Amino acid sequence: MSENNHPLLLVENLVISYGNIQAVRGISFEVREGEIVTLIGSNGAGKSSTLRGISGLIPYKGSISYRGRDLRGVDAAKIVGLGIAQVPEGRGIFGSLTVFENLKLATWQRKDKPEVNRDYERVFSIFPRLKERLNQLSGTLSGGEQQMLAVGRALMSRGQMMLLDEPSMGLAPVLVREIFRVLQEINQSGTTVLLVEQNANMALRVASRGYVLETGAITLSGTGSELLGNPQVMEAYLGG
Amino acid sequence: MDYILQQSLNALQLGSIYALIALGYTMVYGILTMINFAHGDLFMVGAFFCFIVATFLKLSFIPTLLISMIGVALLGVAIERVAYRPLRQAPRVSAVITALGVGILLESVMLVIFPYPQSVPTLLPNITWTIGGVTISLLQVIIICLSIGLMLLLDFIVRRTMVGMAMRAISWDKVIVPLMGVPLNLIISVTFALGTSLGAAAGVMYSQAFPVIDPYMGVLIGWKAFISAVVGGIGNIRGAMIGGFILGAVEIMVVAFFPSTYRDFVAFTLLLVLLIFRPYGILGQPRPQKV
Ligand SMILES: Nc1ncnc2c1ncn2[C@@H]1O[C@H](COP(=O)(O)OP(=O)(O)O)[C@@H](O)[C@H]1O
Ligand SMILES: [Mg+2]
């Protein structure tokens, strides 16, 4: 952990606009190696836009750097190669591809073939259901299974940092708990996590630190437990 | 009976050509949901490549075919890069109008270079076999086998390779594809290269079967191949192949039993009727609505 003094991901004065609409208004935050950091906020707060900026999918102002490297102008596919994997909002699985093809596609940037095979085994041990459904078209999976596949893909691309966009969305509580348990497990085995959620309660429980995003600006930040105990957060996101 | 067999053979030959061209329309539609209306003209450029290479370089069939396919593939990739890519976020209709414009440009440039129809040298020995009452020429055998071979190769690429997987992923949801580490633009270029090189192969074979070529030869054939792609289910690779063979068969059978002036009328009417019953084409599916 020689990099402990430098954040793995550093976002400074990030501004993202769609035409005249400013979705993200100059936010700054950091994620350190080994952390689970959560960005909570209600619908339309700018969470997905922030992740799209980090992954290089949309233009932005301000700066984003990963391991000290400025990501501006780096192609989105290359960013995956640098080690940032995103599990997108709504899972984004390719329904016309089989489960196995979805996983395999995510290894595009990898050159370490023998390790790829080991990672399949790892994904299957975390999500045995995916192994049972390897040759099934992924569009026919249930919502929970699709979310597992989306996380599995991110593991296959070997991100040292995983960005997750509302993984709990649309899932039954038992599945949400399962996904969050897996996230903690993945984090413990060395992957840094940036978790975007509306489900503030669950997110803050697993997070080391969190930021509250409101209409494109960060209004609060602190450790997971600080935010859980904060009356403002309680009122706005945890149902009083 | 012999007559039917003979006509079936002719249908297979014509259908192969339509199918090869139809693949180009369907592949581009599959990844960009855009109709590349310049594709028929790229088929024409393929025929002219054949003419130029065979006349001036005096090469034989296989090298001529390969050079034409590579040449047109490069042209197709360049067209996507220069004319279509800047419009990728624009309304689809802008891209379609641009494609029509590119097609007209290709025709006009070719017309400047070749103001008169040209005859393409024959590259294959004129061998025919007669089996029963059916006559088969070497050219027919080559057109049918080569087309089917190219289609099997394409099918293999799309279904079994990483590039093919990426192409199918793009056609499902191209926004997500870069998050898999897949370079979107590279895959789109590869798709154009594959689709246009198949069109060029069709152009070369067509110019051997009908050796007088002119810059407008791609217009009607392009429309027919496009309709084949729609009948098969636009965006569906196997559908395009099936659609091409169906159109070839329908046309030949119409000519076999009716005056030949009825050909396009009857063929198109049948296809339109088919689309009433299967609006997404034979293998097409309504696109899942994305939320
Ligand atoms: N593609 C887009 N075009 C225009 N506006 C957008 C687009 N995507 C998001 N927005 C707007 O940006 C704001 C933030 O959206 P988003 O980042 O998706 O928020 P969140 O993920 O927190 O729900 C919203 O007001 C939304 O309407
Ligand atoms: Mg969102």
Residue pointed to by tokens 């293999």: B156
DSSP codes joined into one string, B113-145: H--S-EEPPP-S---EEEETTEEEEHHHHHHHH
Q: Is A11 in the same domain as A47?
A: yes
Check whether residue A53 and residue A69 sit in a common domain: yes
Which residues does chain A have with pLDDT short of 50?
1-3
pLDDT of residue A12: 98
Confidence grade of residue B289 (pLDDT, cut at 50, 70, 90): very low
Name which of B217, B213, B222 is nearest B247 in CA terms.
B222
How far is the C-alpha of A115 from the C-alpha of B58, rounded, in Å? 52
Within a domain: A88: no
B235 CB-near residues (< 8 Å, 6+ apart): B26, B29, B30, B33, B171, B284
- This model of the complex carries an ipTM of 0.94
Mutate which: A58, A103, A105, A165, vs B, most B CBs within 10 A: A105
Nearest atom (ligand 1) to Cα of A216: 14
Please tell me whether residues A172 and A65 are part of one structural domain: yes
Radius of gyration of chain B (CA): 19
Rounded to whole angstroms, the Cα distance separating A224 from A158 reads 26
Does residue A53 have its Cβ closer than 6 Å to ligand 1? no
- pLDDT, position B288: 53
- Domain end, chosen from A152, A168, A184, is at A152
Crossing angle between the packed helical segments B217-232 and B263-277, to the nearest 10 degrees: 30
A116 and chain B: CB distance < 8 Å anywhere? Answer: no
DSSP state of B286: P
Environment class of residue B43 by beta-carbon count within 10 Å: exposed (0-12), middle (13-18) or buried (19+)? buried
* CB A52 less than 6 A from any atom of ligand 1: no
pLDDT over threshold 60, residue B282: yes
Q: Do B288 and A106 touch (CB under 8 A)?
A: no
pLDDT of residue B115: 96
Mean pLDDT computed over B92-115? 96
* Residue A90 covered by a domain: no
Do A99 and A66 lie in one domain? The reply is no
Q: Are residues A230 and A172 in the same domain?
A: yes
Residue in chain B nearest A156 by alpha carbon: B180
Residue A228 is part of a domain; what is its CATH number? 3.40.50.300
Report which protein residue has its CA nearest ligand 1's atom 5. A18
> Residue A66, SS3?
strand
Q: What are the distances in angstroms from CA B9 to CA A45, B143, B148? A: 64, 11, 14
Q: Residue A101: list chain B partners with CB under 8 A.
A: 165, 168
* Domains of chain B from N-terminus onward: 2-277 (1.10.3470)
Asked, for residue A51, whether it belongs to a domain, the answer is: yes
Q: Is B282 exposed, middle or buried (0-12, 13-18, 19+ CB in 10 A)?
A: middle
Q: Which two tokens stand for residue A91?
A: 């899972």
**A214: helix, strand or coil:** strand
Nearest to A94 among B162, B169, B183 (CB): B169
Give the Å distance between the CA of B88 and the centre of ligand 1.
Answer: 20
Residue A233 lies in a domain: yes
Subunit contact B176:A106, Cβ cutoff 8 A: no
Q: Could you tell me if A148 and A163 lie in one domain? A: no
Residues of A in contact with B168 (CB under 8 A): 94, 96-97, 101
* Residues spanned by the domain of A10: 3-83+159-237
The pLDDT assigned to B191 comes to 97
Q: List the shell of residues around ion ligand 2, using CB closer than 5 Å.
A: A 48, 89
The radius of gyration of chain A from alpha carbons, rounded to an integer in Å, stands at 17
Residue A18 Cβ inside 6 Å of ligand 1? The answer reads yes
Q: Is the pLDDT of residue B1 over 80?
A: no
Instruction: With CB atoms and an 8 Å threshold, state whether B168 touches A88.
Output: no
Does the CB atom of residue A41 touch ligand 1 within 6 A?
A: yes
Nearest to A104 among B165, B179, B184 (CB): B165
pLDDT at residue B133 in the model: 86
Q: Are residues A44 and A142 in the same domain?
A: no
CA A89 to ligand 2 centroid distance, Å: 6
At residue A62, φ and ψ (nearest 5 deg) are: 95, -165
Measured between CB atoms, does A157 come within 8 Å of chain B? yes
Instruction: State pLDDT tens for residues B5-45.
Output: 898 999 999 999 999 999 999 999 999 999 999 999 999 99
Residue from B249, B250, B232 nearest B241 by CA: B232
A127-141 pLDDT, tens digit per residue, is 999 999 999 999 999
pLDDT in tens, B207-255: 999 999 999 999 999 999 999 999 999 999 999 999 999 999 999 888 8
Of A77, A95, A96, the CB nearest to B182: A77
Smallest CA–CA distance, residue A58 to chain B, in Å, is 11
The answer to whether residue A27 sits within a structural domain is: yes
B144/B127 Cα distance (integer angstroms): 15
Q: Are strands A192-197 and A21-31 parallel, antiparallel or unpaired?
A: unpaired
A97 touches chain B (CB under 8 A): yes
**pTM listed for this prediction:** 0.93
**In this complex, which of B162, B179, B288 lies closest to A86 when CB atoms are compared?**
B179
Q: What's at B84, amino acid-wise?
A: Y
| A163 and A184 inside one domain | yes
| Domain-embedded: residue A38 | yes
Pairing label, strands A217-223, A209-214: antiparallel
On whether both A100 and A75 belong to a single domain, the answer is no
Residues of B in contact with A90 (CB under 8 A): 291
Report yes or no: B283 and B233 within 8 Å, Cβ to Cβ: yes
Q: Which atom of ligand 1 is nearest to the CA of A49?
A: 17
* pLDDT (0 to 100) of residue A1: 46
- Decide if B120 contacts B51 (C-beta within 8 A): yes
pLDDT score, position B290: 40
- Does the C-beta of A14 come closer than 6 Å to ligand 1? no
Phi, psi of B289 (to 5 degrees): -75, 125
pLDDT given at position A128:
96
In which order are the strands placed within the sheet that holds A192-197? Answer: A84-87, A161-165, A192-197, A36-40, A209-214, A217-223
User: Which of A70, A66, A64 is closest to A15 using CA atoms?
Assistant: A64
Distance from CA of B72 to the nearest CA of A (A): 28
Specify whether the CB–CB gap between B29 and B19 falls below 8 A.
no
Domain's final residue, options A152, A176, A193: A152
- A89 part of a folded domain: no
Which residues of B are less than 8 Å from A110 in CB distance?
A: 181
Determine whether the interchain pair B178/A104 forms a contact, defined as Cβ–Cβ distance below 8 Å. Answer: no
Q: What is the DSSP string of B43-74?
A: HHHHHHHHHHIIIII---HHHHHHHHHHHHHH
Q: What is the DSSP pairing of strand A61-66 with strand A69-70?
A: antiparallel
Mutate to test the interface with B, among A55, A94, A137, A146 (most CBs of B within 10 A): A94
Residues A185, A127 share a domain: no
- Per-residue pLDDT for B139 more than 50? yes
Structural domains in chain A (count): 2
A117 and A139 part of one domain: yes
Residues 6+ away with beta carbon under 8 Å from B147: B16, B17, B19, B20, B201, B202, B205
A226-235, B81-90, B141-150, B212-221: range with lowest mean pLDDT: A226-235
Ligand 2 centre distance from Cα of residue A16 (Å):
14
Which ligand is closest in space to the CA of residue A90?
2
pLDDT interval class at B291 (50, 70, 90) = very low
- Sheet of A61-66: strands edge to edge? A21-31, A9-18, A61-66, A69-70
Kindly report the average pLDDT of chain B as a whole number.
Answer: 93
Q: Is residue A22 part of a domain?
A: yes
- Residue A198 CA: nearest ligand 1 atom is 22
Average pLDDT over residues B50-62: 96
Q: Are residues A9 and A58 in the same domain?
A: yes
